[in-house]
Structure 1
Amino acid sequence: MSDLIIAAYRSRNAAFVAGERLAALQQAAGTEPEDIVVVTSDATGRVSVNQSIDLASGAPLGGGRWGALIGMMFLDRRKPVEGGVGLASQFLAAGLDSSFLQEVPALLETGGAAVGMRVRLLGAQRVTEALQKQAGTPRILQTRIGAEAEEALYDLQAQIPDRAVQPDDLI
């Protein structure tokens, strides 16, 4: 079991600072790195996914596929429907909470940003406390992922091409 936690900020800078704070929390705790992703929306509403990377190698940290999966949650603004074909419906079929899936894309204001991560070993409470201490008054969403849902999400991740989660110069 794990948790997905997403915190939305009005400014990109606040979200990137929050991402750095979460990375420092992981390092201090000595836990296995989890992918931390910052999703941004520019003035035109274009969504970008910025994954945490190892500065030495340029490779994504802790499973870039989780970051890509979290980023994709911001792309489908349609209501998740049983048996539907959209991204939100695929996440619903995997076992994620319907209300969480509806709230995630609405978090991202034009020009704003959100930081998200899958949490296992750090504990969701430690992560949300660290985010709440962050300047910028984030709006925090959290959902629990059960064992079956986690397995279904791994199946979805297997469909993400390597090019989507690794910089071009590493392939």
Structure 2
Amino acid sequence: MKKLIVLAFDTETGALEVRDKLFELQKQELITMEDAAVVVRNEDGKTDVKQAKSLVGAGALGGAFWGLLIGLIFLAPVLGMAVGAVTGALGGKFSDIGIDDSFIKEVGTTIGPGQSALFLLVSDVEGERVTEELEPYDPEVLETNLSPEDEEKLREHFAADEVAA
């Protein structure tokens, strides 16, 4: 079963630092990351998203997934009721694939201006060893499981065209 994990940090640089650390841990086969994206919220609350292009492959979801999820988390609260129907439809789409509204809301309230987050789709992890390696970075961990059926729905809706080939 895959997990969608969000590691939240109190600094704008924390997510990038941990992403690089996780690349090292992946080389040691302590974690298998299918896909990842870094979100940095500057002090003005604007978001910058960086997808981990080196992970693009058979397991990658592509920019459409990360863009919609991160947009729903960070833009919907700012735009308010003007886009209520659209965000409701998007929220329903994520709910249909196992990512519930409470998870989305929790992530949105956890990552404030001047902070960052690392979004991960993980298929395998040596939990204790990875937790020990990340302890100095002090991330707040939010996660939700994706069943094989949910993962397949996710890929059908959001997989990048180049991945399908």
What TM-score do the two structures reach when normalised by structure 1?
0.72
* SS of 2:142 mapped into structure 1: strand
Partner residue in 2 for 1:148: 149
Partner residue in 2 for 1:57: none
Partner residue in 1 for 2:113: 110
Q: Select 1:61's aligned residue among 34, 56, 62.
A: 56
Q: Which has the higher strand share?
A: 2
Partner residue in 2 for 1:168: none
2: CA distance between counterparts of 1:140 and 1:32?
A: 17
Give me the identity figure in percent: 30
Encode CA deviations 1:22-52: one digit per residue, 9 max, x unaligned. 1111111187652221111122222221122
Alignment of 1:74-93 (within 5 A): 74-77=70-73, 84-85=88-89, 87-93=90-96
Contact 1:23 1:36 (C-alpha < 8 Å) held by counterparts? no
Long gaps (5+) in structure 2: 78-83
Partner residue in 2 for 1:14: 14
Change (3 A) 1:75 1:124: farther
Encode CA deviations 1:39-71: one digit per residue, 9 max, x unaligned. 1112222222112234xxxxx534553565245
* SS of 1:22 mapped into structure 2: helix
* SS of 1:74 mapped into structure 2: helix
2: CA distance between counterparts of 1:134 and 1:29?
A: 20
Q: How many residues align?
A: 152
Contact 2:2 2:121 (C-alpha < 8 Å) held by counterparts? yes
Alignment of 1:122-161 (within 5 A): 122-123=125-126, 126-131=129-134, 133-135=135-137, 137-158=138-159
Partner residue in 2 for 1:45: 45
Structure 1 position 121 matched with structure 2 position 124: yes
Alignment of 1:29-44 (within 5 A): 29=29, 34-44=34-44
1: CA distance between counterparts of 2:132 and 2:92?
A: 30
User: Mean Cα displacement is larger for which, 17-26 or 63-72?
Assistant: 63-72
